[in-house]
A and B are shown apart, each in its own frame.
Chain A
């Protein structure tokens, strides 16, 4: 096994003697900086995409809320909010229905407007 050691040392010496110049350190440094910039941009893009999705989600939530309010108020659904609550709870507490309707209007409309105007 000593011959292997000698061979490896000779190979190392030969490699060292014949090795060409290293790539420029400046180039490597700038490459790293560039990679950092690209990484930050990718991160910002992800955040931007997320923020852009919020108005759409809010719009959908607003539309759903308005639809529920309209349906329950106008009785256009076969099973309205009042009936549904009654079936689930076994009774029809007027205060609960009132709260749901008020919340739907109070949250739904602003959310829809917020989403539609893309102001987030």
Chain B
């Protein structure tokens, strides 16, 4: 891939991808590292001549794998690692100036997998099949897990005054 094509992709897909990673790992610095690793891996291994939509899916899938790898190997001591996907918010969200406060704080209370699924479904607008492709979860399981994620988020929104 030539450099100008890469820069174009980075400019287009970088921001939404970084937002997805940041919301999933709940750590801005780790999100930056993972974003770079995702693009580096993309440049090293992605097949040539992918369509723009395929590139986007490829990058989101790679980022999701890297997030899981990071959690699994425990290389970084972020909230993600400390909570061990238990869903507990372990650090002060307000301390991170680059991420919003109230909404993000509510979202951060969810398990990372729930955050990932909800983000892909509602922000990226992916179908269950597409989410399955990105996360490696079976489409039928995506449906169930997404439903459970909604069930966990709904009462939080009510408690936070975001829902009637």
Contacts and interface: CB of A to CB of B under 8 A. Distances in A.
Interface of A: 1, 3-12, 14-20, 22-23, 25, 27-29, 31-32, 35-36, 39
Given A3-B157, A11-B107, A28 B39 contact: yes
Interface residues of B, number: 37
Contacts of A15: 19, 22-23, 99-100, 104
Interface of B: 3, 6-7, 10-11, 14-15, 18-19, 22-23, 28, 32, 35-36, 39-40, 43-44, 98-100, 103-104, 106-107, 118-119, 122-123, 150, 153-154, 157, 162-164
A91 B154 CA distance: 90
Given A18-B100, A19-B15, A27 B36 contact: yes
**What secondary structure prevails in chain B residues at the interface with A?**
helix
Given A8-B119, A28-B10, A14 B100 contact: yes
A12 B18 CA distance: 12
A19 B11 contact: no
A4 to B, nearest CB: 6
A7 B23 CA distance: 14
Nearest to A11: B103
B157 A10 contact: no
A32 B44 contact: yes
A5 B14 CA distance: 23
Nearest to B103: A11
Contacts of A23: 32, 35-36
A12 B104 contact: no
Given A3-B162, A18-B98, A29-B43, A12 B123 contact: yes
A1 B154 CA distance: 8
Most buried by B among A1, A11, A31, A32: A11
B44 A39 contact: yes
A119 to B, nearest CB: 37
7 contacts: A1-B150, A7-B153, A8-B118, A8-B119, A12-B123, A32-B40, A32-B43
A31 B43 CA distance: 10
Nearest to B96: A18
Given A8-B119, A8-B123, A35-B40, A16 B10 contact: no
A7 B3 contact: no
Contacts of B99: 15, 18
A79 to B, nearest CB: 57
Contacts of B153: 4, 7
A84 to B, nearest CB: 54
A35 B44 contact: yes
